[in-house]
Structure 1
Amino acid sequence: MTLVLGGARSGKSRYAEGLIAALPGPWLYVATAQAWDDEMRERIAHHRDRRAAPWETVEAPRALGEAIRQAPAGRPVLVDCLTLWLTNVMLDEMADLPGEAEALLASCAAAAGPLVLVSNEVGFGIVPENALARRFRDEAGRLHQRLATIADRVVLVVAGLPMILKGDPA
Structure 2
Amino acid sequence: MSIVLVTGGVRSGKSAFAERLVKEKSRAVLYVATGVCTDKEMEQRITQHRERRPASWGLSETPYDAAAEVQTYYDYEVVLFDCVSTWISNLLVGVPEDKWGDVEETERIIGAVDSWISAIRDYPGTVFVVTSETGLGGVAMSKLGRWFQDTLGVVNQRIAAEAQEVYAVLSGIPWKIKDERI
TM-score tier by shorter-chain length is over 0.9
Give the paired residue count.
169
Which residue of the partner structure matches residue 111 of structure 1?
123
Of residues 38, 55, 60, the one that matches 2:57 is 55
Of residues 168, 173, 177, the one that matches 1:161 is 173
Q: Deviations over 1:45-97 (max 9, x none)?
A: 01100112321111000121222343125520000000000011112228731
Which residue of the partner structure matches residue 46 of structure 2?
44
Superposition TM-score, scaled by structure 2 size: 0.86
Unaligned runs of 5+ in 2: 97-104
Q: CA RMSD, aligned part only?
A: 1.8
Q: Deviations over 1:116-151 (max 9, x none)?
A: 000011111111122211111011110111111110
Question: Where does 1:6-155 land on structure 2 (aligned, <5 Å)?
Answer: 6-72=8-74, 75-93=77-95, 96-155=108-167
Cα distance in 1 between the residues matched to 2:75 and 2:39: 35
Counterpart of 1:48 in 2: which secondary structure? helix
Q: Deviations over 1:14-41 (max 9, x none)?
A: 1101111112312100000000001101
Question: Which protein has the bigger helix share?
Answer: 2
Question: What letter matches 2:160 in structure 1?
Answer: A
Percent identity between the two aligned chains:
34
Question: What letter matches 2:62 in structure 1?
Answer: A
Question: What letter matches 1:145 in structure 2?
Answer: Q
Question: What letter matches 1:118 in structure 2?
Answer: V
Stretch of structure 1 that moved more, 108-117 or 84-93: 108-117
Question: What letter matches 1:61 in structure 2?
Answer: P
Question: What letter matches 2:20 in structure 1?
Answer: G
Cα distance in 2 between the residues matched to 1:98 and 1:73: 27
Question: What letter matches 2:42 in structure 1?
Answer: M
Unaligned runs of 5+ in 1: none
Stretch of structure 1 that moved more, 130-139 or 61-70: 61-70
